[in-house]
Each structure stands twice: as C-alpha cells, then as structure tokens.
Amino acid sequence: MDFAQEMAQARELVEGRLASFFTGEGLEQAMRYSLLAGGKRIRPILTMKFCQAAGGAMEDALDFGCGLEMLHTYSLIHDDLPCMDNDDLRRGRPTCHKVYGECAATLAGDALQAAAFHTVLSAQADARARAGAACVLARAAGEQGMCAGQYYDTLEDGRSRTLEELTAINDRKTGALLKAACVMGVLAAFGGREADAACLDAAEEYAAHLGQAFQIKDDILDVTSTAEVLGKPIGSDAANGKTTYVSLLGVEECEKRVWEHTQAACRALERGTWPGGTRFLTRLAGELARRGS
C-alpha cells in the first residue's frame, strides 16, 4: 500500500467514526456541522499511525484520535468567534457562529470539549491507557497548552513580537495538540504496559518540529495562496497587525525553516523501537511541508 492509500484508509476510519457521533437535533446539529466540515484530520491520523508504528493497530487508537479531533474542532469554533478572530469562513463553509449564532456556537464548542474526554475515557482500551491519554489531552488543552497559546496570541493583539515570543505561542497553540496526538498513539499501543520512554520522547520531539513546520507553512500560505484554495480568509494577520513568521523572516527564510524542522522531525524517529516502522510518519512530515493548502 502506498502513502496515498494509507492516508485515505486512515482518514476513512476517522470520518466513519466521527459520523457516528452527535446525530440528534438542536445543539448536536451545531456540533456535527463543525466536526464533519472536513479538514486534513492530521491529529487523529497521527494518533493512529503512532500507535501502529509502536506495535499496535490503528483501530486501537481510533477513539483517542476522534476525541482529540473533537477538542481541536471546539478550539476552531471558538477561534472563529467575533471575540477572537471574527472569521466568517472555515474550510470553505460559513463558520459555526454564522450558521447557528454566537450563543449556540459557543455552547457547541463547550460540548465538544466535554465529549472529547468522554470519548477518550470510554474507548475500548486498557484503563491505564485511557487514563494516561486523558491526562495528556488535558495538559495539552489547558492553561499550559492550547488555551495558554490562544491567550497570549490575543493578549495585546497587534503588538510586535520577537521570534522567540512567536515560537513560544505557537508551540502551545498549535504544537500542544500535535504532541498529544503522537503521545496518545504510543500510549494506545502499549495499553496497560509501561510505554517505551524513548518512543514517548521521540514522539514529542517529532510533534514539536512538525508543529513549528506546520505553523510556518500556514504563515507562508496566508500570503501566497488564495481564500478559494485555503477555504478560509487570507491576509487577516497582516490586516490586524499581527506578527507572523513571514513578517519577521520573509517567505524565503520561512521555506528554509519549514524544511529544517521537517528534517529534525524525521530524525527524532531514529530513537526508540518501532515494530510497525516509521516510513508513513516520515513521508507525512514531508507531505505537510509541501502542501498547498
């Protein structure tokens, strides 16, 4: 099976499982609208593929990955709200608050966050793995992770930031959930056994570099692509006076750093024992660096 087929197989698993959630009316409609709006599904795919690399099966980590995708979707709903980025378009469709109103969108995000932990803790996995995965997800989402990154990103909006400040923000805002995705996959593979520390460290380092490459590439696309291609508004950061990697370094240097981080991510996988192999994870890092949307 080649990379494209593996990617399609993993994404099909995720889409099928996500479609089984929130089939009711009212609030569940708003939750489902955003959860099934598409996207790359990179986080749950990373969770399943790290599980596979560490010796498990993709299905062993499916609900861990779906819970993580619910939490990611909640963050996007809130990120689009008028009190945050005030965006009208997400993945080529009107944002949740444009369709259902601000109140319903806020509550849909809140409910998805709760559902994320319920999904992880209800997964068909060893109790120790479920508890460990839930703790990892909570740390990644909270005041030391994604929420902290969003807080500092919006604090004194428009103020110029240094490269170090920008990197620290993005390591929390984008990187935290990517790290959680990879680590949760390793935990799913080991189940109730003590996970290989080298694999956990390698997963974290891979995700840290992948997150930096991903965010820098996002900043490049925000000035070189179009809203039609990206499925969301472009140029909003520049319009709002926000510091980005491109505004600090320029496009050429940013492209160089994307590949430096991508190569560092792949080198991280040289540590640890990976019975299922890391070829897919290495290829995925390269594909994300080359992406056009």
Buried b (16+ CB within 10 A) or exposed e, 244-264: bbbbebeeeebbebbeebbbb
Tell me the per-residue pLDDT of 46-83, one tens digit each, with 9 for 90 and over.
999 999 999 999 999 999 999 999 999 999 999 999 99
Range of the domain at 80: 3-290
Provide the pLDDT for residue 146.
96
Q: How many folded domains does the chain comprise? A: 1
Contact 53, 271 (CB under 8 A): no
- CATH code: domain of residue 30: 1.10.600.10
Residue 99 CB contacts under 8 Å (≥ 6 apart), including other chains: 30, 33
Tell me the per-residue pLDDT of 118-132, one tens digit each, with 9 for 90 and over.
999 999 999 999 999
14 or 235, which is more confident: 14
Tell me the per-residue pLDDT of 167-196, one tens digit each, with 9 for 90 and over.
999 999 999 999 999 999 999 999 878 889
